[in-house]
Amino acid sequence: MHAPVTDAATPLYDVAAMRRVETQAIALLGNDASALMERAGRAAWGCLLDHWPQARRIVVVCGPGNNGGDGYVLARHALEAGREVQVLHAQDQAPRSVPARQAAAAFGDAGGRVAVAGARLPDCDIVVDAVFGIGFDGRADDASHALFAAIAASAAPVLALDVPSGVDASCGDVPGIAVRATRTLQFIGHHAGLATGAALDHVGDLAVAALALPPEVFDGVAPVAWSLRGAALESLLPQRARTAHKGSAGHVLVAGGNHGMGGAAMLAASAALRAGAGLVSVATRAAHVAPLLSRTPEVMAHALEDPTRMAPLLAMADVCAVGPGLGRDAWASGVLKATIAAAHALVVDADALNLLAASPRHLPAATVLTPHPGEAARLLGRTVLEVQRDRIASARALCARYGCVVVLKGAGTVVAAPGAGTWIIDAGNPGMAVGGMGDALTGIIAALRAQGLPAAEAAVVGALQHGVAGDRAAAEGGARGMLPSDLIAALRRPGQD
Ligand SMILES: NC(=O)C1=CN([C@@H]2O[C@H](COP(=O)(O)OP(=O)(O)OC[C@H]3O[C@@H](n4cnc5c(N)ncnc54)[C@H](O)[C@@H]3O)[C@@H](O)[C@H]2O)[C@H](O)CC1
Ligand SMILES: [K+]
């Protein structure tokens, strides 16, 4: 799957790519960098007017680079519109580049006030964060820390220009502290780093200003990933023919539910049914068969105490989802071994991933792995912090190591596929941070595989469907106290997301 699964996918760029776009944009503007800065600052002023039309007192905190230059342009427009404007910068952090110095001079010529920032910002109606953009690297130095602290201490909303300062625009890492924006206006294109990971706690509402540039500015520039929103979902889900029958929608086998963990297998099986699998079987401990059937009679539940007897169950299933509630004992290892040896297609989750990390095995090519950051860390031999620091790179590394499709769960789920692209899911909410949500995702992906989607598409569409259902469940009943069964029930409801 090389192209994005739909034209509703949004290209995401890293800093290197955005630098090329910037260079091509400036060339198209007659090599006038100030003209591009003027468009950015004017677009930012328009965004401020749209969202804070009543704001009278505006504080713009400018850094030494061109992000700061954008801030000076916004400040001049605000001043010319009659607002009370104060530009602040850190000690010895006056604008360094020619366009930024020109923007600062134009602000001064218009009567603008510039001062060195103190520990606290003046009272204001809005703060504009123009400290750092895509040029930020490493960790914020002490002077920047002081600016971020002053911005955080202000009670005013924050409009971040291009990037919330202190966030890595390529990978989303926040090495130290960073500005928490109410809204972030990106320039020209979407930053990959603002779509996943720690950045999601800093961007607020995210938008992009295209700056009226022609599409040629992106010529020869490859996105590092594609973002998918809920609106794309309905067009991506497998449609059933009028002549569909339960056999044509595929057969999922869920293998898991060790002692004390039968619920995980039940959730995966319920989700597989709600996501459209024609038949769902479960191979689980004998003690879970009765309760499973009483809760979900649509499922065919098989008592499995001897993993060597799995072959007939695997033979009749189109895809096996192994891992929900599997545990890590000898039974679990036997189930995983039998599944890898005989499954037609595999979705590997939870403790099956931990067993894999402990004793790596070769996996069939069209396998989908669905780790959360902790499981990914164990599979990669890294720390969770290292995985989360660059989620796109981590998902790709795991994909390369095992030759499988990888769904790295978490805020801004990342899907990486061998020889194909990388996708980031722009759906889901903090209410989904509860045990069992991963079991539901495993069931959804297995159901899409069983309905004929290739591994990469099943992973991307399944992760999107999971996030959309989570958002629907939160919209209906609130994110607090949301349960996996709420999400599974929401799988049924078609939505205009
Ligand atoms: N890319 C585009 O299409 C557009 C870019 N514009 C704006 O320009 C910034 C990028 O500007 P640049 O000068 O390259 O970098 P920054 O302004 O982000 O800041 C870099 C500046 O800060 C110093 N610095 C970097 N890291 C640190 C740190 N950890 N601690 C302290 N200081 C640091 C560094 O030395 C530089 O001096 C982009 O984001 C847009 O806002 C155009 O104006 C619009 C289109
Ligand atoms: K900024």
pLDDT digits (tens, 9 = 90+) for 56-84: 999 999 999 999 999 999 999 999 999 99
| pLDDT number for residue 287 | 97
| pLDDT number for residue 245 | 80
Q: pLDDT-derived band of residue 109, with 50, 70 and 90 as boundaries?
A: very high
Q: Compute the CA torsion angle 355, 358, 363, 367 (nearest 10 deg).
A: 50
Considering the chain, what percentage of its residues have pLDDT values greater than 90? 90
| pLDDT number for residue 6 | 61
269 plus 395 within the same structural domain: yes
| pLDDT number for residue 244 | 80
Residues 82-92: pLDDT tens digits? 999 999 999 88
Q: Which element (helix H / strand E) includes 185?
A: strand 183-187
Considering the chain, what percentage of its residues have pLDDT values greater than 70? 98
190 plus 239 within the same structural domain: no
Residue 207, classified by CB atoms within 10 Å of its CB into exposed (0-12), middle (13-18) or buried (19+), is middle
Is 136 annotated to bind a ligand? Reply is: yes
| pLDDT number for residue 154 | 95
State the CB neighbour count (10 A cutoff) for residue 42: 17
- Any domain includes 246: yes
Q: Is the CB of 129 under 6 A from ligand 1?
A: no
Q: And the tokens for 280?
A: 């769902």
- Any domain includes 3: no
- Any domain includes 2: no
- Any domain includes 298: yes
Largest CA distance in the chain: 83
Neighbours of ion ligand 2 (CB under 5 A): 129, 160-161, 165
**394 Cα–ligand 2 center, Å:** 26
**69 Cα–ligand 1 center, Å:** 9
Range of the structural domain that residue 125 is part of? 12-224
| pLDDT number for residue 91 | 86
Q: Is the CB of 32 under 6 A from ligand 1?
A: no
| pLDDT number for residue 268 | 98
Domain boundary among 177, 203, 224: 224
Residue 216, classified by CB atoms within 10 Å of its CB into exposed (0-12), middle (13-18) or buried (19+), is exposed
Residue pair 44/209 in contact by the 8 Å Cβ criterion: yes
Residue scoring higher pLDDT (52 or 244): 52
- Any domain includes 465: yes
**255 Cα–ligand 1 center, Å:** 51
176 plus 278 within the same structural domain: no
| pLDDT number for residue 496 | 47
Domain boundary among 179, 202, 224: 224
**How many domains are there within the chain?**
2
Question: Which residue from 19, 60, 61, 67 has its CB within 8 A of the most atoms of ligand 1, so it is best to mutate?
Answer: 67
Residue 317 has pLDDT above 90, yes or no: yes
Calculate mean pLDDT across residues 242-259.
Answer: 91
**334 Cα–ligand 2 center, Å:** 53
115 plus 155 within the same structural domain: yes
Q: Is the CB of 144 under 6 A from ligand 1?
A: yes
Q: Is the CB of 367 under 6 A from ligand 1?
A: no
188 plus 255 within the same structural domain: no
Q: pLDDT-derived band of residue 239, with 50, 70 and 90 as boundaries?
A: confident
496 contacts: CB under 8 Å, gap ≥ 6 = none
CA dihedral over 396, 399, 405, 409, signed as positive or negative: negative
The CATH number of residue 266's host domain is 3.40.1190.20
List the single range of 66-70, 139-143, 168-172 with lowest mean pLDDT.
Answer: 139-143
Is 7 annotated to bind a ligand? Reply is: no
24 plus 138 within the same structural domain: yes
Q: Is the CB of 92 under 6 A from ligand 1?
A: no
Cα atoms in the Cβ-side hemisphere of radius 13 Å centred on 462: 40
Residues 349-408: pLDDT tens digits? 999 999 999 998 999 889 999 999 999 999 999 999 999 999 999 999 999 999 999 999
Ligand nearest to the CA of 140: 1
Which residue type sits at 233? L
| Nearest atom, ligand 1, residue 18 CA | 1
Calculate mean pLDDT across residues 209-226.
Answer: 97
192 plus 304 within the same structural domain: no
| pLDDT number for residue 1 | 42
Q: And the tokens for 271?
A: 């989700």
Mean pLDDT over each residue of the chain, to the nearest integer? 95
207 plus 254 within the same structural domain: no
Q: Is the CB of 238 under 6 A from ligand 1?
A: no
Q: pLDDT-derived band of residue 39, with 50, 70 and 90 as boundaries?
A: very high
Residues 188-211: pLDDT tens digits? 999 999 999 999 999 999 999 999
Complex ipTM value: 0.96
Proportion of the chain in helix, strand, coil states, percent, rounded to 5: 45, 15, 40
The CA-to-CA distance between both ends of the chain, in Å, stands at: 24
| pLDDT number for residue 92 | 83
Residue 138 has pLDDT above 60, yes or no: yes
Distance of CA 429 to the CA centre of its chain: 11
Task: Give φ, ψ of 60 to 5 degrees.
Answer: -115, 120
Residue scoring higher pLDDT (2 or 321): 321
The CATH number of residue 42's host domain is 3.40.50.10260
50 plus 166 within the same structural domain: yes
190 plus 284 within the same structural domain: no
205 plus 260 within the same structural domain: no
0.80 cut: is pTM over it?
yes
Is 176 annotated to bind a ligand? Reply is: no
Residues 331-341: pLDDT tens digits? 999 999 999 99
Q: Is the CB of 135 under 6 A from ligand 1?
A: yes
- Any domain includes 485: yes
Going by alpha carbons, the residue nearest to atom 36 of ligand 1 is: 65
**Tokens 């100030």 sit at which residue?**
34
Q: Is the CB of 24 under 6 A from ligand 1?
A: no
**428 Cα–ligand 2 center, Å:** 26
Q: pLDDT-derived band of residue 241, with 50, 70 and 90 as boundaries?
A: confident
237 plus 218 within the same structural domain: no
| pLDDT number for residue 4 | 54
In terms of residues, how long is the chain?
A: 497
| pLDDT number for residue 497 | 44
Residue 493 has pLDDT above 80, yes or no: no
| Nearest atom, ligand 1, residue 141 CA | 30
What does the DSSP assignment read for 299-360? SEEEE-S-GGG-HHHHHH-SEEEE-TT--SSHHHHHHHHHHHHH-SSEEE-HHHHHHHHHS-
Domain boundary among 164, 196, 224: 224
Tell me how many degrees the CA angle 460-385-378 measures, rounded to the nearest 5. Answer: 70
Q: pLDDT-derived band of residue 3, with 50, 70 and 90 as boundaries?
A: very low
**186 Cα–ligand 1 center, Å:** 13
Q: Which element (helix H / strand E) includes 225?
A: strand 225-229
Task: State the Cα–Cα distance between residues 371 and 111, nearest whole angstrom.
Answer: 56
Question: Which residue from 134, 148, 213 has its CB within 8 A of the most atoms of ligand 1, so it is best to mutate?
Answer: 134
- Any domain includes 175: yes
| pLDDT number for residue 95 | 93
Going by alpha carbons, the residue nearest to atom 14 of ligand 1 is: 135
Q: Is the CB of 160 under 6 A from ligand 1?
A: no
Residue pair 58/51 in contact by the 8 Å Cβ criterion: no
- Any domain includes 436: yes
